């Protein structure tokens, strides 16, 4: 009886969970942490089929730069230690700062890159490992 009521409620309200407009895909779940040594980077790859919005709330311990770039641009960073191009850059995010991501991303393949350096190179001014944490899911949803 309870199961039948849950199934009926599911169909009546259009499924469980909060929804606003197009559905969103979770790239990085809330509560995830990345440990990134000084002079290094970490990234999450994702694909956008028809344009979308990349959103989420994050924090870090020592300061980082965040980029949305193509896989080829990410590969160039890994090979040369220099950022050659990007769709979006955060600029330097200070230590112990909460940041809201809100980036419009066109269709294609992309990497969300977290760079623990002094700027657009892999030159580590410091050797501190930074922790990047997420207060909310980082999602890519329809535009």
Domains and CATH numbers, the chain: 22-142 (2.60.120.680)
The model's pTM: 0.78
Q: What are the b/e assignments for 13-40, b being 16+ CB within 10 Å? A: eeeeeeeeeeebeebbeeeeebebebbe
pLDDT at position 13 is 35
- 114-130 pLDDT, tens digit per residue, is 998 866 666 655 678 88
- 9-28 pLDDT, tens digit per residue, is 333 333 333 333 445 799 99
Is residue 46's pLDDT more than 90?
yes
Q: Which helix (DSSP H) or strand (DSSP E) does residue 80 occupy?
A: helix 71-80
Which neighbouring-strand residues pair with 28? 138
């Amino acid at each position: 009886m309870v199961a039948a009521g849950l199934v009926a409620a599911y169909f009546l309200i259009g499924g469980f969970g909060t929804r606003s407009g197009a559905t969103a895909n979770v790239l990085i779940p809330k509560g995830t942490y990345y440990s990134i040594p000084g002079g290094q980077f970490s990234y999450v790859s994702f694909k956008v089929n028809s344009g979308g919005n990349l959103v989420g709330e994050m924090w870090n311990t020592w300061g980082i730069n965040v980029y949305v770039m193509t896989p080829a641009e990410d590969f160039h960073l890994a090979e040369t230690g220099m950022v050659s191009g990007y769709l979006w850059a955060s600029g330097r995010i200070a230590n112990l700062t909460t940041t809201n991501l809100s980036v419009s991303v066109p269709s294609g393949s992309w990497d969300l890159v977290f760079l623990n350096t002094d700027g657009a190179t892999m030159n580590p001014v410091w050797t501190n490992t930074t922790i990047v944490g997420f207060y909310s899911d980082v999602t890519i949803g329809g535009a």
